[in-house]
Structures are given as structure tokens and as C-alpha cells.
Structure 1
Amino acid sequence: MQWLPFELHCHTFHSDGKQSLPELAEAAKALGLRGVALTDHNTMTGLTGREEVMAQTGVEVIPGLEWTTFFGHMLTLGIHEYVDWRNLSPFHIHRGIEGVHRQGGLVGVAHPFRVGSPMCTGCFWEFDVADWSKIDYIEVWSTLFPSIRRNNARAFAMWTDLLNQGHRIAATSGRDWHVSDPVTEPVAATYLGVNAELEQASGLTVAALDALKRGAVSVSMGPLLQLQVADEHGHKAGIGETAVPGPAIDVTVNIDFSAREGQWELPEQKLAVKLVSAAGELAAVELTRAQPQASLKLDVTAARWLRAELYGAFCGAHTMIGFTNAIYFQ
């Protein structure tokens, strides 16, 4: 398993961006990203020359598209043929989702609580989702310095509520990247737990989408947060995987300070890692560069899921710096 940083929401001048695909890839490389998803609005023409760009930059380009409708924006990744969205009413989003899934692609709700019309046509999510199990992921963090945005707090809460209902939905960050100019605000990365054997056999795009589908996802503006549990029999489960609950499971959390090192600044401090489930906060530990890992026992007998959240002083604010996706319990 390799944890690789991606940006999963990008635009070029083929829609409303102000950058070419080569410029996007070069800028992503400079930010320490292993790959990007090109999700131009309602077009896939920006993917022309994709193979050449990947060969020249070493940055993986995941093919995608952002459905841009009056009722919401949906990201579609891993498709190779255009899936028409124009016949979708607020009550028929599943027709479009089925078309993406038939191609082996994934669908994600983009920035569900961003201000909508007339400032951003259709940005606010209004589609009626009859079956959330058909949604692969939700962009719970959007734009730069995402942790301090109120609309992202609403999206994060919606994701938590869906987890509490028993849904297994991944959560990602999306910069909604339009311009390659330097920025002064923090950039979050979506780390995908890529299976190395699958990458070797089928390529990085396939392996990255597989990781997203499995929920092997950790999001951070700074260092990479990791989570693992082990039951009384020693059976281990990582992010996105399933474990057997019990009164005293072993939980291990650690912070990888080498992830995208040099792309973020973090004052020397004790960072708080909160372990959160449907019952709320179960425990908290303090970690530092000198002591980046901790293990403890937790009672998760009644828990459906468990995730870790990283808090500290970052870019002039005390905020959530990153979070893991859930480990699920049978």
C-alpha cells in the first residue's frame, strides 16, 4: 500500500479554467502531488494529449468530468465516454449515475453547500438522492484553506450523518483548481491508499480509483494522518476496511510528517488527534514530531465506524488540519 497525494477537482481553459493541461500538471508536480483528476465542466476535450502530459511530467491525469447543472455539480471520474446529464431533473440523478457506473467510473457530490445561483449557478446541491449507496464519495472540503469554510463544515456534518445511517461513502478534498498562479492559502491533498500490485498490473489511474472506491482515503493540508485497528484475535484493519467491534480493540494512530514535506508549515507544538465515531469523540491523544504515534484500547462495541481527526495551530488558526476516512465495524 502506498499513500499518494492527489487533487481530484481541476479545470482547464476547455471550460472555465485559465490553464492548459500541461500547465496544470506542472503546477501539481511543484506542489508535491502525484496526480490530478481533470474535471472540466460538461466537457472532456481537455484530456487531449493526456498520455504525453503524463509522460513529460510524471503526474497522473485521471479522466473525468464535472456535471454542471442547475441543481448541483457532480464529479464523475474514470469515464472514457461522455455521459449526458442534460435529461436529469432534480429527481432523476440516478439515471446519470448508472451511466457512469456502467463504464466503471465513480461519482462524487461536489461542494454540496457552496452558495448557489446567481453567484454560482447550480453549485448548491439540490438533487434528490434516493439511494446514497450509489454515491461513491462527497467533496467535504472545497477550495483553499478548506477547514475554515462554513459550507465545508456543513458538508462534513452531512458526511458524518450518512456514516451514522450506515452508508459507506468516502470523503475527499477538492481545490476546484482553475488557475496555476501561486497561492498563499493552504492547499489540501487527498491521499489515496493505492494497492501497489494493482498499480503495476493496471496502471495508477485504475489503482487510484480503486482506492477511492474502497474508502482508503486520508485528507490533509499538512502531514498525513493514519489509522489502524486490531481486534482481540490480532486481525488488523486500515482506513476504508472492516473490523469486528469489541470492548477493547487496539487502535493505532500516527502522523507522517514527511508527506509533501516543504509544501506546508507547521509550528512546533502538540497536535491533538481525536478518535470519533457515531457516539462522538471516544478518545484523544497528543502527538508531536518526536512522538508521531500512539496506541490505545477503545470500546467500540456499539460503533459503526471510527475515524481520526487532526487538530492544531495551522496558518494562523487553530483548526482541523486533516482527517481520515472511516474504518467500519460489522
Structure 2
Amino acid sequence: MRWIACELHTHTQHSDGVQTLEELAAGAVELGFDAIALTDHNTMSGLAGKDSIASQYGLLILPGMEWTTFYGHMVTLGLSEYADWRSADPSQIADGIQAVHRLGGIAGLAHPFRIGSPACTGCYWEYELKDWSVVDYIEVWSGTFASIRTNNRRAFALWTDKLNEGFRISATSGRDWHAQMKTEEPLSVTYLGIPDGEQPTEELLVDSLREGRATVTVGPLLNLAIFADGHKFELGSVVSSPLQAEDQRELQASVTIDFTVRSGLWFLSDQTIKLILCSDQGQELDIEVTWSKNNANEPVCLSGLLLSPGPRKWLRAELWGIVQGAHAIIAFTNPVYFD
């Protein structure tokens, strides 16, 4: 799997940003991103000239738009054309999501628990969703130093609750990037996985997010795979029932922590980091990993991690440690699912 560093929530002068698309692209490349999504509020006009700018900076620019309403914000990505947000009804947002799907796009809840009116009208998600299966992803980390924010913790818990209920919804981060301002706060990155040997395209990245091939971090890239009966299952894939039955061979997990990504663009103090594998059954494994910037030239690979053969709906990896003096999640993967 090849991992593409993405920033999936940005704005330009075409909505409430104070940057041009070219300034945004230049800033993204400087921060080590391979791709960005332009998600201006209720308009796609800022995408004019994107192919030329993308070529100039060697950066993929995904077409998107943030539906910005009184009842919530919804980020849409990969649309073939403008999807009209104005008819969105508080009790029928699923109709709007399906319209996005018909145009080849995907839709995700943006910062669903950010404070709403009067501080940020419509930022708090109030739409009624009768069927969560129509939702493609939830932006569980929003802003800078996202993992310590209370509203993001609530979004992360919402995502976990929906996974526990059996829905297969991806999770992402998004800076909600409006201006080229320097910050000392950690920046989160959503890595999207594409098949080895493939060149990244807008369509491949949208498909990767749709299928859950995503992992989120403020530093090292965390990856998880499950091995069952000779088969390998990567993020977003599904382990079938016979392979996880109690009378079958044991399940094994493999975890990779790549500290070499975006070298020099993030910082963690030397420490013992905790790797956790968790599922709808709770915490399943807890392993300590020593991190030192002096020996971070190669990924850490942990293979043959035994899992109980009992039934579960999903399994993900989380990396916990100290980030700028706070105990927080450093990275997390999207799940491997189980039938």
C-alpha cells in the first residue's frame, strides 16, 4: 500500500478564506502534503485553474465543497459537478447525501460538535440521520492540535459508537485551513492508501476514503493489517465470518509505525508510546513502544500479534503518548471490519 499525505478541509478567498488556491497549494507542499481538497463554503468556483496549479506544485487537488447551512456543515469530495445544497432539509439530509453520491462524490460530517450559534452558526451538526449507512466519513479531528479538543473527542466517540452499531464509516482529520498562518500546534494528516504501483489520482484517493483505507496522525504513520487463514486484510477490508469463527485458526495482527514520514515537520519528545488495538469488544492489546528521534530512521514493525478468535465487528490501532505536554492520541487507523 502506498500512503498519500492529505489535507481534506481547506478554504480560499472564494468563501471565507484569506488565501488563493496557489497560496494554499504552495503552503501545503511546504508542510509535506501530497494532496489537498478544496472545500469552500457552498461554492466550487475556487477550483478554476486547479489543474495548472496542481501541475506547478506537484500536488493533487481534490474537488470538494462544504455544504454550509444552519443545521450543520457537510464536506463533499470528488463531485463531478456542483451539488445544490440549498434544498437540504433538517430531517432529510440523506437526500442531499444521495445526490452527492449520484454525482460520484462522497460526503462527511464536518466538525460535528464544534460550538454552534452564535459563535459559529450551523457548525454544530443538528441534521437528523435516520440511516447512518449513507454517511461516508466523519471528520473526527478538526483544527490544529485536534486530539485534545473536547469537540473532537465527542466526534471520535460518535464515530466509535457508530462502528459499534455496525456502520462502516471512515474517519478523517481536517485543519479547516483558511489562512497561511504559522502555528506551533501539531497538524494532523490523513493518509489515504492506494495500491502499490499505482499513480495517485483524484479518483483513487476518493475511492480510498470511501473504502476506509485511511489512517490519521500528528506524526508517525500508523498502519494495521489482519492475517487470518493465510489471507491478509488491510484497512477498510472485511474478514469474513468463517475466518474469524472460534473453530478456525487464530487471528494475527501486524502493526507498522513509520517515523520517517514528513521528516522534520513534526515533533515528539523521546518517550515510551503506548500502542493499543481496540474493537467493539474493548481494548484487546496494549504494547509499549520506545520512541527516540535518534533511532527513527526505520519503521517499527510488530507482527504476529495474537488476537482472540471470538466475534467482533471491527478492529483499529491507536497510538497514545505525550504531545506538547498533553497525554493524547498521536495516531489512529481506520478499522479492519469483521462479518
Superposed pair shares fold, TM > 0.5: yes
In the alignment, the residues of structure 2 paired with residue 110 and residue 300 of structure 1 have an alpha-carbon distance, to the nearest angstrom, of: 36
1:283-322 → structure 2 map (5 Å cutoff): 283-289=285-291, 292-295=300-303, 296-322=305-331
Q: Aligned residue pairs: how many?
A: 326
SS at match of 1:122: coil
Which piece of structure 1 moves more, 241-250 or 182-191? 241-250
CA contact (8 A) 2:217 2:330 kept: yes
- Unaligned 5+ segments in structure 2 are none
Alignment correspondent of 2:183: 183
**Correspondence for 1:271 among 265, 273, 278:** 273
1:297 maps to amino acid = L
Q: How far apart, in 1, do the equivalents of 2:318 and 2:129 lie? A: 27
Looking at structure 2, the residues matched to 318 and 133 of structure 1 have their Cα atoms a distance apart, in angstroms, of 33
**Which residue pairs with 1:58 in the alignment?**
58
2 CA distance for matches of 1:165 and 1:73?
A: 23
TM-score by length of 2: 0.93
Cα distance, 1:307 vs structure 2:
0.2
C-alpha distance after superposition, 1:20-62 (max 9, x if no partner)? 0000001000110001000000001100110110010011100
In 2, the alpha carbon distance for the partners of 1:23 and 1:85 equals 27
Distance 1:261 1:238 in 2: 25
In structure 2, the residue matched to 1:226 is 223
Q: What letter is aligned with 2:20?
A: S
2: distance between equivalents of 1:129 and 1:85? Answer: 16
Looking at structure 1, the residues matched to 194 and 81 of structure 2 have their Cα atoms a distance apart, in angstroms, of: 24
- CA drift of 1:318 comes to 1.6
The farther-off stretch of 161-170 and 235-244 is 235-244
State how far apart, in whole Å, the 1-side matches of 2:10 and 2:71 are. 20
Query: Could you list the runs of 4 or more consecutive aligned residues of structure 1 that deviate by over 6 angstroms after TM superposition?
Result: none
Per-residue deviation, residues 55-97 of structure 1 (Å, max 9, x unmatched): 1001110000000000000001011321111111201112211
Identify if the C-alpha distance between structure 1 residues 309 and 246 changes in structure 2 by more than 3 Å, giving closer, same or farther. farther
Amino acid at match of 1:292: V
2:153 aligns with 153
What residue number does 1:103 align with?
Answer: 103
CA offset digits 1:155-210 (Å, max 9, x no partner): 0011001001111000000110001121110000000001355x54xx51011001
Secondary structure at the aligned position of 1:6 is classed as strand
Displacement of 1:246 in angstroms is 4.5
Which residue type is aligned with residue 281 of structure 1? Q
Distance 1:35 1:300 in 2: 38
The code of the aligned residue for 1:126 comes to E
Q: Is structure 2 residue 114 aligned with structure 1 residue 114? A: yes
Q: Is the 8 A contact 2:80 2:104 kept in 1?
A: no
For 1:185 and 1:245, locate their aligned partners in 2 and report how far apart those are by CA, in whole Å. Answer: 41
Rounded Cα–Cα distance in structure 2 between residues aligned with 1:265 and 1:165: 36
